[in-house]
Chains A and B, each alone.
Chain A
Amino acid sequence: MKFPSFEYACPASLADAVALLSEEGDAMVLAGGQSLMPILAFRLAAPRLLVDLKNVPGLDTIKISAEDVRLGARVRWCDIEKHTGLSAAQPLLAEAISHVAHYQIRNRGTVGGSIALADPAAEMPGIAVTCDAEIALTGKLGERVVPAAKFFLGAMETCIQPDEIITEVRLPLWPSDRCWAFKEFARRRGDFALAGVAVFYDVDANGCAANTHIGVIGASDRPCRLGSAEQIINGAFLDATVIEAAAEAASNEIEPMEDHHAPADYRCALVKTLLERALTRAMA
């Protein structure tokens, strides 16, 4: 449980940080350290260099504009929790983040860290995928922006290149009358969820659902949208029958992993239950 030895650098600019990553090759980025420290202690990784982002300016801001919500990579869960504007500008995010871990971890864990780690059961990647977020990365060739749907490649696997640093997560505009809900099920408060669902839809002129987004976490190797359930909701007037059908479709669509926390068929049933509850809540 002791770290392997490594070099430590604390650059003062993004350019310097990228340069360090490019030069070293065998380097890892340190933000809040809430996953990286255990990974090092368990010796699951032994990089030659840690590049600490704590002195890189501009990464810790939350920007709400008429176009979108931008979360800097070093924004912490407690920053989101305490932010007065987010519950209106991105209520789904605010609700989901309230389920992340425990007080001490929320004071250190960061948006960028969670996105980079890509734990399949984590809330932040799930919200990014559900909301069609964009993830901004800076590397030696400059900035690129990747849609969340293409960013996560598998469990703990992303498209980040060794020289790249996540700088920002951009969540699209959120209409104030949007219907939404987030539900997850964890063994104890603060544990990684056995499964979770994030839902939103808009109501069209006829009172029917449109633009439905349903995201699921903890049910496969990466956060994903549930297209079959979304199709059932879109254009429908939500009631118990539609919800039941959508939940059933969701449960059939996923192919959950089986591990010592829960068997696959339990996770299927859980996603169905959570989606039923989320849609019922969103409708209310």
Chain B
Amino acid sequence: MTSGMKRGNALIGQPIERVEDLRFLRGRGTFVADVNREGQLHAVIYRSPVAHGLLRSVDAQAALNLPGVHAVITAQDFGADVPVIPLRLQPLPELVPFRQPMLAHDKVRYVGEPIAIIVADTAAIAEDALDLIDADIDALPPITDRAGAELGDVLLFDEHGSNSAIEWNAVRGDAEAAFASADYTRRETFKVQRHAALFMEPRGFVAEWNANEEKLTVWGVAKVAFANRTILADTMALSENQIDMVEVDVGGGFGSRGEFYPEDFLIPFAARHLNRPVKWIEDRREHLLAANHARELECDVEIAATKDGKIIGLRGQSWANIGAYVRTNGSIAPRNAAQFMSGAYAIENIQLTTTSITTNKTPTGTYRGPGRFEGDFVRERLIDLAAKDLGIDPVEMRRRNLVSSDQMPYPLATMTPFESVTELDSGDNHALFDQCLAEFDWSEKVKLQGKLIDGRYHGVSIGCFIEGGAAGPSENARIVLELDGSYTVYLGSAAVGQGIQTIMAQIAGDALEVPFDRVRVLHGSTSHVKSGFGSFHSRSTVMGGSAIVLTAEALKDKIRDAVAPTLGCTPTEVTLDGGNASGPSGGVVSIMEVIGEPIEAEAAFLNKKYTYAYGSVAAHVAVDPKTGQVDVLEIGSTKDVGRMINPLTLNGQSVGSIVQGLGGALLEHLVYDKEGQLLTGTLADYLLPTAGDFPNIHSTVVELKPSPLNPLGAKGAGEGEIIPIGGIIANAVAAALVDFNVEPLELPLSPPNVWRLIETAQKT
């Protein structure tokens, strides 16, 4: 811990109410739809109505003739080289062929792919013009699933020669030898359905081009403003200092919001093209087609164990249905599904491969716990299946296999390509597991296992997870001591609903040893700091928070240097106390009176290693065997984050994460027909969990093992509990329906799907 944090610490760890909320609750938030510029025009996107086809031409004349329409922009307006969305993470050369053009030109590959952008006086007129666009598309047979993709008679990318884009390999130990010597093996196939992050309000942008200054301002960025500024500068042939990306309020991101999509380019391009501010607000139907989908994965995985339940191997093949293109972070979920399938368990021998398969569906990207939700579903199911086969209590089976404290640091499987080596750092899986069992009252609830009570079968389950966080390489902070004695903190992290204004002010207040209300936090926009990396991979608190700690130290050093001559001592002898400074002889001066002008420092926190939070989640469900309805009666979770900054916001992350996971386990499903048309294009068809659906959730967060990797001792904690939910709910359903010998291997556990499992089991 740094010297500056020893004394204060009055704020870190306190359940301070979010400072953001007063603004939101009073309707004073500024979301992108609230941003309006004088003289602005409105854009809508003409999207492909077919899943797969050759785009012969786009006739926009009738649309252009409509009064109020200013422009219809097609790929032809970009010249010979149509810009593409680059790969932000893991930019492997193998993935280059699958990048998405900003507008389709030779081929369309999914329903919803942007073909043209219409700019008009109002959004309504622009929508009127949509009907007048005539795109000549020679339809090709659509590929929607793995079987179709593997046939290979129809290819999304002819020049690639296959619909398989890339293979990701996770290897540890010698899986072949382990399976050859195993007492017990079991191999099953699993499916996780396509679903999506579905943050609160859809995306949008307002872009304005200042022709005199040749400067572009874009409102509506989130998550990774700096990275997106780099992409925008490259694709619009501007330099980065010609672009300001302005962050506005957002209702959550969950991995999906803020990545660079075609519209991130199209709206600024249109603004410069027309020399008018242009606004685009995505509608919900559009959002369900346009923003990243996630999760769709098939797995054929085998577990090996000794007869006393020690898991010795995990091997198999998964197929990620990644949709039509690889966007900015399209590699993450497929590779995570392999590397993190072993989770919190010490599995010495691993050989797991994920193949990324292109299909004529919306491209996929990261969604809270990417690949981890999918992989944990497979692993937690396999553990319960193995425990049942071996006659071992599933609780005991987990206890025997969790990575223990003295096994840490424990290396996970090594990934290739884009080689990645990572290890479980500091934690106590067993303590968390036991605490979760105790708080959940497992020993009482387990007595209900499989019992039929008032027409419903009861089941309980427990599982464990790890949560990776704190992706590098760095985060920047700048702190200014203002003339009035207040501190302004500028940060490269982005607010995506996680309450960083509050959390960062707590960290800054303690680091600067000043009260909470003396600190003001500004974040996200590109004008605040030299560079920034944003909010993903549960990194903001660790990376941004640590940057604040380092910057506070640098600023305090600068202040000591500045006041030491006045106090007649060396800088190291200066003691800072709020707005005042004192020397060893007892003299006290006002810092501002001495310095006379704002003073600032900027610093970056660098990190190469991931933090890991650990935890357990238990569930109690009741299943109506006649309707297939799964009621979640209670969820209890326990997680160690090393160091809590704010227990209130942290609890919100945990509960929200669990509810979002329950959505994926039970409700949410992006259903396509064989023609590649999305059938669930409204929120009446795509079922999100609502406030009343899962009322009984208890989360506990503890500080057992501080992270050794950063000055706060904190671990990323924004995803956590969502990760094991699919597996835990499926295990609880299996436990409830033990009399029917029902073993769910696919999500979601919707009423028709659970009913089908029971029907099938009864007939055999």
Secondary structure at the A interface, as helix, strand, loop or mixed, is: loop
A200 at interface, CB cutoff 8 A: no
Contacts known (A192-B684, A260-B679); A187 close to B750, Cβ less than 8 A: yes
18 A-B pairs within 8 Å (CB atoms) are namely A1-B284, A1-B285, A4-B127, A5-B128, A42-B285, A43-B127, A185-B629, A185-B751, A188-B667, A189-B693, A194-B751, A260-B679, A263-B752, A266-B628, A266-B751, A266-B756, A269-B626, A269-B755
A273 at interface, CB cutoff 8 A: yes
Complex CA gap A191/B692 in Å reads: 13
B671 adjacent to A260 (CB under 8 Å): yes
Closest to A43 in B: B127
| Residues 2-30 of A at the B interface (beta carbon under 8 Å) | 2-5
Complex CA gap A188/B122 in Å reads: 36
B687 at interface, CB cutoff 8 A: yes
Chain A nearest CB from B291 CB (Å) reads 15
Chain B nearest CB from A258 CB (Å) reads 11
B443 at interface, CB cutoff 8 A: no
Chain A nearest CB from B94 CB (Å) reads 35
Q: How many residues of A contact B (CB 8 A)?
A: 23
Contacts known (A5-B124, A262-B752); A189 close to B692, Cβ less than 8 A: yes
B687 adjacent to A187 (CB under 8 Å): yes
A100 at interface, CB cutoff 8 A: no
Chain B nearest CB from A188 CB (Å) reads 6
A266 adjacent to B755 (CB under 8 Å): yes
Complex CA gap A3/B445 in Å reads: 53
B751 adjacent to A187 (CB under 8 Å): yes
B283 at interface, CB cutoff 8 A: yes
Contacts known (A2-B123, A187-B751); A270 close to B692, Cβ less than 8 A: no
Secondary structure at the B interface, as helix, strand, loop or mixed, is: loop
What are the 4 A-B residue pairs with the smallest beta carbon separation, nearest first?
A: A1-B283, A2-B124, A273-B626, A260-B671
- Chain A residue numbers with a CB within 8 Å of B286 are 1
Chain A nearest CB from B51 CB (Å) reads 16
- Chain A residue numbers with a CB within 8 Å of B285 are 1, 42
Beyond the given A4-B127, A266-B751, please list 14 additional residue pairs across the A-B interface where CB-CB is below 8 A: A1-B284, A2-B122, A2-B124, A3-B124, A5-B128, A187-B687, A188-B687, A189-B692, A192-B684, A260-B671, A260-B679, A261-B685, A269-B759, A273-B627
- Chain A residue numbers with a CB within 8 Å of B689 are 188
- Chain A residue numbers with a CB within 8 Å of B284 are 1
Complex CA gap A43/B132 in Å reads: 14
A266 adjacent to B752 (CB under 8 Å): yes
B690 at interface, CB cutoff 8 A: yes
Complex CA gap A98/B756 in Å reads: 29
Chain B nearest CB from A78 CB (Å) reads 18
Chain A nearest CB from B257 CB (Å) reads 19
Chain B nearest CB from A73 CB (Å) reads 24
- Chain A residue numbers with a CB within 8 Å of B755 are 266, 269
Task: Scan A38-67; emit 1 where CB is below 8 A from any B CB, else 0.
Answer: 000011000000000000000000000000
- Chain B residue numbers with a CB within 8 Å of A259 are 679
Task: Scan A259-284; emit 1 where CB is below 8 A from any B CB, else 0.
Answer: 11111001001100100000000000
B235 at interface, CB cutoff 8 A: no
Complex CA gap A188/B687 in Å reads: 8
Which single member of A2, A42, A191, A270 contacts B627 (CB below 8 Å)?
A: A270
A185 adjacent to B627 (CB under 8 Å): yes
Closest to B455 in A: A277
B607 at interface, CB cutoff 8 A: no
- Chain A residue numbers with a CB within 8 Å of B690 are 188-189
- Chain A residue numbers with a CB within 8 Å of B692 are 189
| Residues 378-408 of B at the A interface (beta carbon under 8 Å) | none
| Residues 605-630 of B at the A interface (beta carbon under 8 Å) | 626-629
B680 at interface, CB cutoff 8 A: yes
Closest to A270 in B: B627
Chain A nearest CB from B687 CB (Å) reads 5
- Chain B residue numbers with a CB within 8 Å of A273 are 626-627
Task: Scan B116-139; emit 1 where CB is below 8 A from any A CB, else 0.
Answer: 000000111001100100000000
| Residues 348-393 of B at the A interface (beta carbon under 8 Å) | none
Closest to B689 in A: A188
- Chain B residue numbers with a CB within 8 Å of A1 are 127, 283-286
- Chain B residue numbers with a CB within 8 Å of A262 are 751-752
